[in-house]
Structure 1
Amino acid sequence: MNTQSQSTDDLRDLYRELILDHARSPRHFGKLESTSHQAEGINPLCGDKLRLYLKIDADQTISAVNFEGSGCAISVASASLLTETINGLSTERALDYYANVVYLLTGVDAANPEIRLDLGKLKALEGVREFPSRVKCATLAWHALHSAINNTNDTVSTE
């Protein structure tokens, strides 16, 4: 095995472990009592269901974020990674992450295509692209984020 192939395999293993860690021990899990924004997301094909809670301050900073619900490992891990990423960010920057993650997973620009961020740990989700039926699992929490920030009060469905 050449060095580049070994490095790629090592990176995939590291990403797989990160996904499993977040699925087994999700961060910011549970209902957030004091919220200003929230949204529900469902993925009927996989059975994923979550509610995302945000506390957005007057200066548009996300000062708290939690989620609750159930779903497959990819859905839970993606929601957990989302909460770690956006906590403390402005809503504008959180929406930039939304657009970048949707692009990472689907190849489709969701918004602000000119803004490309360093996704850090979120790149662990990139491997999901190889499994098209699982992309909706990974994007569910991100679509709920978009809905919550925009205060649409709609239930987001992947269908």
Structure 2
Amino acid sequence: MGLDHLDDLYRQVIMTHAAHPHHYGECEDPSVRMTRYNPSCGDVIYLSLVLSTDHKIKAIAFKGEGCAISKASASMMTDLVMNQPIVKARQLIQSFSKMLMGEKSEVGDLKDAQLLAGVQQFPARIKCAKLPWQALEDALAEQGGS
């Protein structure tokens, strides 16, 4: 598979998630809400989560204004963490952060989100891709779930 084909796949997946984001909206009666803003580009993510008593992410949704990378990243993230134990969600956040920084991570767990590794070529866009994941990390920390 040539690099041009990978670039096309990257763009196609990003644009599909951005144009038709999964879990877009707001959770009914959320356990926690989190807003994160990227001052360097103006992206904003509003995240809502419903956490179950057995420490799982029962529901997750986001709204926001921003670039295609930010929306696509949020869409991919919500797909990955829905119905997952909080511990697993935290592992995915770590893997994603390491991947964006070019460090070794368990990218196999990240599914479509591993395509966002391509933003490493554009350092200013790393913050866009990371914004929803930071919102999730902060929401879980605020809630104190394990």
**What RMSD, in angstroms, separates the aligned Cα atoms of the two structures?**
1.8
Map of 2:4 onto structure 1: 9
Amino acid at match of 1:93: K
Contact preservation (8 Å) 1:35, 1:53: yes
Structure 1, unmatched stretches of 5+, are 153-159
Give me the whole-angstrom Cα distance separating, in 1, the residues matched to 2:6 and 2:107.
20
Query: Is 1:84 the counterpart of 2:79 in the alignment?
Result: yes
Structure 1 residue 116, shift from structure 2 partner: 2.6
TM-score, with structure 2 as normaliser:
0.91
1:116 matched to 2:106 = yes
Counterpart position of 1:47: 42
Identity across matched positions, percent: 38
Describe how 1:43-82 pairs up with structure 2 within 5 A.
Answer: 43-82=38-77
1:94-152 alpha-carbon deviations (Å, 9 max, x no partner): 010000111111236xxxx8x73512211110100100011000000000000001116
Deviation >6 Å, runs of 4+: none
Q: Is residue 134 from structure 1 mapped to residue 125 from structure 2 by the alignment?
A: yes
Structure 2 gap segments, 5+ residues each: none
The answer on 1:30 being equivalent to 2:25 is: yes
Name which one, 1 or 2, has greater alpha-carbon Rg. 1
TM-score by structure 1 length?
0.84
After TM superposition, give the deviation of residue 33 of structure 1 in Å. 1.9
